[in-house]
Chain A
Amino acid sequence: MKLLVLIGNVPDTTTKIKFNADRTAFDASGVQWIINPWDELALTRAMELKETTGGAVETITVANVGRQETEATLRKALAIGADKAIRVDADVRDAFYVANQLAQVCKGYDLIFAGIEASDYNGAAVGGMLAELLGIQSVSAVSSVQIEGGKLHLIREIDGGSQSVSVATPAMAIVQKGIAKEPRIPAMRGIMMARSKPLEVVQPVDTEIRVSFESFELPPAKAACKKFSEEQGKELMHALREEAKVL
């Protein structure tokens, strides 16, 4: 089986988010970039499958859409153990644009992993769109992937429980947390080996931009904490009712 894992390049989750002066674009200066946490778990699961299924998984490829500066993220994925990387050389626009770019490089794989969302824009749309463009089945909210006898056995998280499904290949698994326990840490040898692994750069295809960003808003700054003493029960109730309006 040939596996492909989509790798989003997102700001480190501890980044202080800033926007440009007119709030139309994210200010990326000084930001540390990481693999989208869901994608990192997906890659970890792909690696586990490769190691435990006795040769059922032939290769793991990783792919992203992004400019050259996102290659560090792909290199990290190669250091963790992916065999090959593909980068579509374009700026990330809306989900349809990204899915359309990926569609050209995602053909011929038996199982594609996408994260359920990206930790930056929370789009949660690329995986499903891409499956549609590729004409393959997709299963969402996947928390477990097993390969047995060339078939995929997946577990989905549903409200209040879980659902087991089996799917014929080729298929798309849109994964959520739980798909692997902890993301793999690349070992030093892996980091060195990543140097000589192939990283293919592909030109973007023309795609109509259907959604454009108008402006961003940060959540309002947290107001200062109000403290009440034990005797101020009344005042507390009043504040909860009238000021916080939570009661």
Chain B
Amino acid sequence: MTSINKFTAPDHYLVDDLLTEEHKIVRAAVREWVNRSVKPFIEDNFEKAIFPKTLIKELGEIGAFGPFIPVEFGGAGMDYISYGIIMQELERGDSGLRSMASVQTSLVMYPIFSFGTEEQKRRFLPKLATGEMVGCFGLTEPNHGSDPGSMITRFKDMGDHYLLNGAKMWITNSSIANVAVVWAKDENDVIRGLLVEKGMQGFTAPETHGKWSLRASITGELVFDNVKVPKENLLPGAKGLRGPLSCLSSARYGIAWGVIGAAMDCYDAAMRYALERKQFGKPIAAFQLQQKKFAEAITEITKAQLLVWRLGVLRNEGRATPAQISMAKRNNVEMALHIAREMRQVLGAMGITSDFPMMRHMMNLESVITYEGTHDVHLLITGHEITGLQAYK
């Protein structure tokens, strides 16, 4: 077994100097929590495909949900770099755990805070912050993934309520969610957000099984069969695709940070192994071919760290554009996935076992490179940004 408490985060360019003391306390706190509550159990949870629900309350207690939401609504009022650091440390534990927290924070609390009424904010945000309530985000549909604008889930104004029909697929937290932020078209074809609550008649959320990725995270469907949604459950502030896209910007920002945690975990575990494991009479870390893997990995981790730090500063100043966030998400996820694969090879046969985290991270990252905009789609976003010509359609 790798010793979790020995984890040393690579920091080749002294990026730590760019962080405040407070950021470091945040990091130490979440890192310690992950060492205690996640690392010892995660391989087992992953293997058995169970989401450890007890962690929801603990995540709430340490304040991992909605850290940038103001204190009056249950958040901590922190900056975006702190949010990124929290995501990084959670994902060092597991991408599934980070996904759960990303969804709760960026895809549920963020839209309620940004587009909701005062009453909606008071009713949902404090309970989402403590983990008493779990949320999910329904945008993707069985036939509309990369192109959510063509969604067919719709609602009709029935006078005293809305009538919702349709289905969503690949929804993180679906079956455990108390509230779903559902994106659907109104009678004028405008995309709006509805808060659909567990127990509403006609609303079901079956879980999807058989995933080889994010096994320690719940994914499922949301099915709406003539669901009567009270009018006060409409988010008044969001009209059109910009609403859900702004949530995705917040989540993607967190992913760009998060995956660095997975990459660091793989790098650190492989480095310690390579310094100890001997072949042909010397540690395998002494061979040039292995050093190439490590040298390239630390270079990519360093670039990723600098990218998200700058992005964090821009986001704190309210200047990070969706295209900048998209670039960081795309670059960093691929970086992490590549490092997971390379670091696994360093371990030879040992690398395929659950005694080491590489295979799990690698399998998880296949989802991360797909959700929140696929790797290809992010390339098109950058292409659009720099040429002014869109190539999606």
Contact = CB atoms under 8 A, between A and B. Distances in A.
A84 interface: no
Interface in B1-42: 5-6, 8, 21-22, 24-26, 28-29, 32-33, 36
Given A75-B22, A192-B76, A192-B77, 17 more contacts: A14-B5, A72-B21, A72-B24, A76-B25, A185-B32, A187-B61, A187-B62, A188-B26, A188-B62, A188-B63, A188-B82, A189-B71, A190-B63, A191-B22, A191-B29, A192-B71, A192-B78
17 contacts: A14-B5, A75-B21, A75-B22, A75-B25, A79-B25, A185-B36, A187-B29, A188-B62, A188-B82, A189-B71, A189-B76, A191-B25, A191-B26, A191-B63, A192-B76, A192-B77, A195-B22
A81 to B, nearest CB: 13
Nearest to B61: A187
A89 interface: no
B97 interface: no
Contacts of A76: 25, 28
- For the complex, would chain B's binding face be called helix, strand, loop or mixed by DSSP majority? helix
A71 interface: yes
B67 interface: yes
Contact of B86 (A71, A79, A185, A188): A188
Interface in A194-228: 194-195
B62 A185 contact: yes
Interface of B: 5-6, 8, 21-22, 24-26, 28-29, 32-33, 36, 61-64, 67, 71, 76-78, 82, 86
A14 B35 CA distance: 14
A244 B382 CA distance: 66
A51 interface: no
A186 B33 CA distance: 10
Contacts of B26: 188, 191
B323 to A, nearest CB: 29
Counting chain A residues whose Cβ lies within 8 A of the other chain, the interface size class is: 10 to 19
A27 interface: no
A132 interface: no
B246 to A, nearest CB: 23
Nearest to B22: A191
B67 A188 contact: yes
A182 interface: yes
B250 to A, nearest CB: 17
Contacts of B5: 14
A187 B36 contact: no
A27 to B, nearest CB: 17
Contacts of A190: 63
A188 B29 CA distance: 9
A76 B25 CA distance: 7
A40 B71 CA distance: 26
A71 B78 CA distance: 20
A32 to B, nearest CB: 8
Interface string A165-198: 0000000000000000010011111111011000
Contacts of B61: 187
Contacts of B24: 72
Interface in A29-67: 34
A188 B22 contact: no
A220 B286 CA distance: 25
A186 B76 contact: no
A11 B69 CA distance: 34
A34 B28 CA distance: 10
Contacts of A71: 21
Contacts of B22: 75, 191, 195
A246 B26 CA distance: 47
Nearest to A16: B8
Contacts of B63: 187-191
- Interface centre among A72, A187, A192, by most chain B C-beta atoms within 10 angstroms, is A192
Contacts of B76: 187-189, 191-192
Contacts of B29: 79, 185-188, 191
A16 to B, nearest CB: 10
A75 B23 CA distance: 12
Given A72-B24, A79-B25, A188 B78 contact: yes
A75 B25 CA distance: 8
Contacts of B28: 34, 76
Contacts of B78: 188, 191-192
Contacts of A72: 21, 24-25
A185 B77 contact: no
A43 B55 CA distance: 25
A188 B64 contact: yes
B362 to A, nearest CB: 27
A125 to B, nearest CB: 28
Nearest to B77: A192
Contacts of A79: 25, 29
Nearest to A186: B29
B330 to A, nearest CB: 28
B36 A186 contact: no
Contacts of B21: 71-72, 75
Nearest to A79: B25
A103 B86 CA distance: 39
A87 to B, nearest CB: 14
A187 B29 CA distance: 7
Nearest to A34: B28
A82 to B, nearest CB: 13
Nearest to A14: B6
B23 to A, nearest CB: 9
A192 B20 CA distance: 13
Given A14-B8, A192-B77, A185 B25 contact: no
Contacts of A189: 63, 71, 76
